[in-house]
Amino acid sequence: MNRTSIRRWTCALALLAALGSPSLFAQLETRAAHDARLQWWRDARFGLFIHWGLYAVPAGEWNGKTNYGEWIRNNAHIPLPVYDKFLSQFNPVKFNADEWVRMAKAAGMKYIVITSKHHDGFALFNSQVSDFDVMATPFKRDILKELAEACRKAGGIRLCFYHSIMDWHHPDYLPRRDWETDRPAAGANFDRYIQYMKAQLKELITSYGPLGVLWFDGEWENTWTEAYGRDLYRYVRGLQPDIIINNRVGASRSGMEGFSQDKESAGDFGTPEQTIPATGVPGLDWETCMTMNDNWGYNSRDKAFKPVRTMLRMLADIASKGGNYLLNVGPTAEGVFPPESVERLREIGAWMAVNGESIYGTQSSPFKKLDWGRSTQKAIEGGARLYLHVFDWPADGRLVVPGIFNAPKKAYLLSDAKKSALSVARQEDSLIISLPAAAPDANDSVVVLDVAGKIDVAKQPVPDAALVR
Ligand code: H79
């Protein structure tokens, strides 16, 4: 081959790689296979995060300080033998897997991600390779097995596990906490720790699966590398080929914004934590995880619960940017959701029962900005259906949909079972929808606008480059 043809071949290969690449971790599958694997998760848009473990016993309180959560062992510097005593106090007799699954489904959530193991190393399941598990507590019931069965029975909801790479308990995990003076690192073997972690993951995938997602975390310490992440990603996919894995499996996450620094990094989706990106990122999947109050794990004093309005608007905001919302509950040591969470899940569910169609299976907004709220969209026969999420109901009854050149076909309120037509008029490059005086929903009223043809709006959303770096 001469130099030109080599260059031509290289170009062709690069083009093929780009076309066939599923953005993250290209080699393993075609774009079509990647899309098929992620389809249910992209359609779901809304999931329940559950942080539950031994830290529910102290409930956020240690030595007179009350601002702890699932990090209590690290933040309060609790020595291992002292923390281990929580084992004998973990007896969540009110735990009812069917009831948890029922509440998640009633809230409109399509998947549950629960901590099989958090940073403290405690396994919420019956692990053959660890004594630091639920079988070492008076409860002696395999919580994850019960949840797996409850999800299977209920249907329409997928069970997923959060599994921490960082482990403050296993003797082979490194590094030690810098305040830990009583646990010498001598003799610790990180490769042996990886074998242990893989053994637990195999238990989880083969005995509780098929799972929806494996959600890794605690990947940021200097012992973990992108190479380990790629190996772990392949290992997990090898055990269940259609499983979805977050980007914290690798070592490329950039801070709390949660996107990987490189599109070849291991992992299927980005993980913004407690934050919603300014815009979506075309071609990148992501999920914002967020607490309802200020802690992931149960804290009996933490009453800083977000209003339902805030969470519903966040859900619409996230969907309008093409992301998922993973909303957290921290159950008590008795095994129940805090009443404030129960109430909020119920109210979110009431909205979803009416408006879920505007969230599930939708695509991101075609508009750059909407002064009164957000939008999502879906393809329909011969055109597009826009879901206009109206946060601020116009006082003059005129909803301005700016910069849209498609012909309107029909508009109606999603809450109106009769789908009575709202009148739509064109005014220059805007469509004006005439609305009733009162908003059907004080938090987010959804107006459906069907238009003809391929969506044609004035300004395409511009991705914020800073988010992908
Ligand atoms: O499980 C919940 C929390 O316990 C856990 N993630 C959620 C889902 C969590 N762990 N740590 N944090 C949240 C905050 C930690 C932030 C930091 Fe870093 C770790 C700052 C520096 C290292 C990760 C890497 C974020 C920025 C760089």
Query: Where is the domain boundary, 324, 358, 392?
Result: 358
Ligand 1 atom closest to the Cα of residue 69 is 4
Ligand 1 atom closest to the Cα of residue 164 is 1
Query: Among residues 227, 285, 330, which one has the least CA distance to residue 468?
Result: 285
Share of the chain above pLDDT 70, in %: 92
Q: Is residue 458 part of a domain?
A: no
Quote the pLDDT of residue 256. Answer: 83
Where does ligand 1 bind, in terms of residues with CB under 6 Å? 51, 70-71, 217, 220, 255-256, 273, 289, 296
Rounded Cα distance, 74 and 161, in Å: 22
What is the domain-level CATH number for residue 416?
2.60.40.1180
Q: Which residues contact 305 (CB under 8 A, 6 or more apart)?
A: 292, 293, 340, 341, 344
What is the domain-level CATH number for residue 66?
3.20.20.80
Return the minimum-mean-pLDDT range out of 7-16, 116-125, 195-204, 315-324.
7-16
Quote the pLDDT of residue 22. Answer: 43
Same domain, 407 and 264: no
Same domain, 254 and 402: no
Q: Which residues contact 316 (CB under 8 A, 6 or more apart)?
A: 358, 359, 373, 374, 376, 389, 391, 444
Q: Is residue 295 part of a domain?
A: yes
Biggest distance spanned by C-alpha atoms of the chain: 76
CB atoms within 10 A of CB 112: 25
Quote the pLDDT of residue 460. Answer: 52
Q: Which residues contact 213 (CB under 8 A, 6 or more apart)?
A: 41, 111, 113, 158, 160, 161, 243, 244, 245, 246
Q: Mean pLDDT in the chain?
A: 93
Same domain, 120 and 243: yes
Rounded Cα distance, 372 and 26, in Å: 39
Same domain, 137 and 230: yes
| pLDDT surpasses 70 at 462 | no
Sign of the alpha-carbon dihedral angle for 264, 265, 266, 268: negative
Q: 454: CA distance to ligand 1 center in Å?
A: 42
Position 26 confidence tier, pLDDT thresholds 50, 70, 90: low
Q: 163: CA distance to ligand 1 center in Å?
A: 14
- Beta strand segments in 299-382, E: 324-329, 373-380
Closest Cα to atom 10 of ligand 1: 218
Closest Cα to atom 2 of ligand 1: 296
Quote the pLDDT of residue 3. Answer: 40
Same domain, 305 and 386: no
Query: Where is the domain boundary, 302, 331, 358?
Result: 358
pLDDT in tens, 78-131: 999 999 999 999 999 999 999 999 999 999 999 999 999 999 999 999 999 999
Position 261 confidence tier, pLDDT thresholds 50, 70, 90: confident
Q: 386: CA distance to ligand 1 center in Å?
A: 36
pLDDT in tens, 135-149: 999 999 999 999 999
Q: Is residue 227 part of a domain?
A: yes
List 49's β-bridge partners, or say none: 113, 328
Domains held by the chain: number: 2
Query: Where is the domain boundary, 358, 382, 403?
Result: 358
Same domain, 172 and 272: yes
**Domain ranges, residue 424:** 373-452
Same domain, 331 and 421: no
Q: Is residue 347 part of a domain?
A: yes
Same domain, 347 and 382: no
What global pTM score does this model have? 0.93
Q: Is residue 384 part of a domain?
A: yes
Q: 44: CA distance to ligand 1 center in Å?
A: 25
Rounded Cα distance, 328 and 341, in Å: 9
Enumerate the H helices of 155-273 as residue ranges: 190-208, 226-239
pLDDT in tens, 179-222: 999 999 999 999 999 999 999 999 999 999 899 999 999 999 99
Rounded Cα distance, 40 and 396, in Å: 40
Closest Cα to atom 19 of ligand 1: 220
Q: 220: CA distance to ligand 1 center in Å?
A: 8
Q: Is residue 134 part of a domain?
A: yes
Ligand 1 atom closest to the Cα of residue 70 is 4
Cis peptide before 210 (omega within 30 of 0): yes
Ligand 1 atom closest to the Cα of residue 51 is 1
Same domain, 66 and 207: yes
pLDDT in tens, 335-361: 999 999 999 999 999 999 999 999 999
Q: 273: CA distance to ligand 1 center in Å?
A: 8
Same domain, 327 and 412: no
- Which residue has tokens 């020595």? 79
**DSSP reduced 3-state for 427:** strand
- C-beta pairs of 3-10 under 8 Å, 24+ apart in sequence: none
DSSP state letter for 463? P
Does residue 12 or residue 128 have the better pLDDT?
128
Quote the pLDDT of residue 466. Answer: 46
- Beta strand segments in 80-210, E: 111-117, 158-164
Rounded Cα distance, 183 and 80, in Å: 9
Residue 367 CA: distances (Å) to CA of 263, 387, 402, 428 = 26, 12, 8, 17
Closest Cα to atom 6 of ligand 1: 217
First to last CA, the chain: 37
**DSSP reduced 3-state for 111:** strand
| pLDDT surpasses 60 at 263 | yes
Q: 219: CA distance to ligand 1 center in Å?
A: 9
pLDDT in tens, 269-289: 999 999 999 999 889 999 999
Overall size of the chain counted in residues: 469
Closest Cα to atom 27 of ligand 1: 255
DSSP state letter for 248? G
Q: Is residue 393 part of a domain?
A: yes
| pLDDT surpasses 80 at 291 | yes
Quote the pLDDT of residue 468. Answer: 39
Position 20 confidence tier, pLDDT thresholds 50, 70, 90: very low
Token pair recorded at residue 241:
């080929």
Same domain, 281 and 385: no
Same domain, 170 and 313: yes
| pLDDT surpasses 90 at 254 | no
Quote the pLDDT of residue 264. Answer: 84
Q: 218: CA distance to ligand 1 center in Å?
A: 7
Q: Is residue 349 part of a domain?
A: yes
Position 27 confidence tier, pLDDT thresholds 50, 70, 90: low
